């Protein structure tokens, strides 16, 4: 069930982006939308009090990022990730990150400060796994921190490797969705550190 009562509108936020953020919250935080669930465009429009145009734009954007799928004559659905999908996407990410790191090294590598920050972000992942959080909370926090860690690594390239960073950012959404669905096993999460 979709509830728009808790929607907080950020200043200067486009309606499409607001709908995008709202759907992500329903998938990742509130879990009112799960893999395979249908997203009713008309109902979402009614609940949020927007026309269907920004809802449709947001759904198309989420489809490009692999978080939702459009099935002809049926509608929009939250993407369902198989474990094999996550493995394949992680292999693609590893290849792209290798290219990114080669670029960073060719430009002189990373500073001690950046290395310490990367190490601190990695330690946070370990702390999450050793915390007393529930399995579900642990999985959510791990996925969030894992994305923050990788986005920091991407930022080390500065303005270089623009397309590599763009593709990595885009597949990060699929990885997050896959992590959210498949990373409920602490040992499996620990392998990601």
Answer with the residue of higher pLDDT: 170 or 104: 104
Q: Residue 172 — very low, low, confident or very high, per pLDDT cuts 50/70/90?
A: confident
Indicate the DSSP class of residue 178.
H
With 80 as the cut, is the pLDDT of residue 108 above it? yes
Q: Which pLDDT score is estimated for 141?
A: 84
With 70 as the cut, is the pLDDT of residue 77 above it? yes
Name which of 90, 92, 55, 96 is nearest 75 in CA terms. 55
Task: Determine the CATH number of domain 15-78.
Answer: 1.10.10.10
With 60 as the cut, is the pLDDT of residue 2 above it? no
Q: Which pLDDT score is estimated for 183?
A: 58
Q: Residue 11 — very low, low, confident or very high, per pLDDT cuts 50/70/90?
A: low
The alpha carbon of residue 99 and the mean position of all alpha carbons in its chain are separated, in whole angstroms, by 21
Instruction: Taking residues 140-148, report their average pLDDT.
Output: 86
With 90 as the cut, is the pLDDT of residue 52 above it? yes
Q: Give me the torsion for CA of 82, 85, 90, 91, rounded to 10°.
A: 140
Percent of the chain at pLDDT exceeding 90: 53
Q: Which pLDDT score is estimated for 53?
A: 95
Q: Which pLDDT score is estimated for 62?
A: 93
With 60 as the cut, is the pLDDT of residue 177 above it? yes
With 70 as the cut, is the pLDDT of residue 163 above it? yes
Instruction: Taking residues 33-38, report their average pLDDT.
Output: 90
Contact 173, 65 (CB under 8 A): yes
User: Tokens 């860690």 belong to which residue?
Assistant: 149
The alpha carbon of residue 151 and the mean position of all alpha carbons in its chain are separated, in whole angstroms, by 11
Residues near 72 by Cβ (< 8 Å), separated by ≥ 6?
none
Answer with the residue of higher pLDDT: 81 or 155: 155
Q: Which pLDDT score is estimated for 138?
A: 83
Two structure tokens written together for 101: 């790191």
Q: In Å, how far are 16, 69, 76, 77, 110 from 72, measured between CA atoms?
A: 22, 10, 9, 11, 48
Which of 26-35, 58-67, 69-78, 147-156 has the lowest average pLDDT? 26-35
Beta-sheet strand order (sheet of 68-71): 38-39, 75-78, 68-71
With 90 as the cut, is the pLDDT of residue 147 above it? no
DSSP letter string, 15-80: HHHHHHHHHHIIIIIS-SS-TT-EE-HHHHHHHHT--HHHHHHHHHHHHHTTSEEEETTTEEEE--
């Amino acid at each position: 069930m979709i509830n728009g009562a808790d929607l907080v509108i950020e200043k200067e936020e486009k309606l499409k982006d607001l709908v995008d953020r709202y759907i992500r919250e329903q998938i990742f935080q509130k879990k009112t939308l799960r893999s395979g669930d249908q997203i009713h465009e008309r109902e979402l429009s009614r609940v949020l009090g927007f026309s269907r145009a920004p809802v449709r734009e947001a759904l198309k954007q989420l489809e490009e990022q692999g978080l939702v799928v459009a099935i002809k004559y049926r509608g929009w659905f939250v993407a369902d990730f198989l474990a094999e999908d996550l493995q394949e996407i992680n292999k693609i990410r590893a290849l792209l990150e290798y290219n990114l790191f080669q670029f960073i090294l060719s430009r002189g590598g990373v500073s001690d400060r950046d290395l310490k920050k990367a190490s601190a972000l990695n330690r946070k992942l370990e702390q999450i796994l050793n915390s007393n959080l529930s399995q579900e909370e642990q999985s959510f926090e791990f996925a969030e921190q894992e994305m923050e860690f990788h986005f920091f690594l991407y930022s080390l390239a500065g303005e270089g490797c623009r397309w590599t960073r763009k593709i990595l950012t885009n597949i990060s959404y699929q990885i997050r969705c896959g992590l959210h669905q498949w990373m409920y096993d602490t040992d499996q999460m620990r392998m990601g550190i």
